[in-house]
Amino acid sequence: MQPDPIRVIAICSLILGTFFITKSISIKTPKYVLHELLSFKVNRSRFFRKYISQRLDSVIGFMFCFFGFALLLYLEVQALGEKPGPSGFDNWWLVIGITVVAMLGIAFLLSRIARFFSNKVFIENIRFMIETHNYPLEGDEAFVLELGRVMRVRRDEEDTVESYAAKVRAKMRLPPAPAPRAARVPPRR
């Protein structure tokens, strides 16, 4: 039996797509990435270039997988057209349409669940890094605003960076920020 060339192309496309999707996943642990982001010696342009590359890899991988699955679906529909359906049901496009809508619904639900858990893991890792390294949250306004947005901390117009950081700290169950130390003047001799 000769293999169908369209089926071979579809399977090769799926393999190539899974390669690109796998390549797009970062190999660094979340704690290492956070340590890299919160330290002062970070090559941010390199990090951003890698981020763009990973996004492109995931899009390319998705397109290859989509193309491969579309070819396989085409072959299945073509094969179904050659034989009668069960119980006289020949409207396979309706079945495929309902299946696609169900798949989109499941994908949406799973992406919401993944976003919830990724935010939770993100906040726990940030909390760990702030506690471990005594990171001055109040000194980084952009970071405090981003954390507040992720955790849905309400921001009032009269909030200062320090008051908003205190709200973020409270939501993260972190201790209050230490009071700034007054500079000690050495005694005269």
pTM of the model as a whole: 0.55
Quick check: 77 and 12 in contact, CB under 8 A? no
Give residue-wise pLDDT tens across range 32-51.
677 666 664 555 556 667 77
Q: What is residue 84's DSSP assignment?
A: P
Q: Of 13, 11, 46, 5, which is closest to residue 28 (Cα–Cα)?
A: 46
Give residue-wise pLDDT tens across range 91-115.
667 777 887 898 889 888 988 898 8
Per DSSP, helices labelled H in 39-140 are 44-82, 92-133
Mean pLDDT of 11-34: 80
For residues 9 and 165, give the distance between their C-alpha atoms in angstroms, rounded to a whole number: 54
Alpha-carbon torsion (99, 101, 104, 108), positive or negative: negative
- Residue corresponding to tokens 């890299």: 36
Quick check: 133 and 38 in contact, CB under 8 A? yes
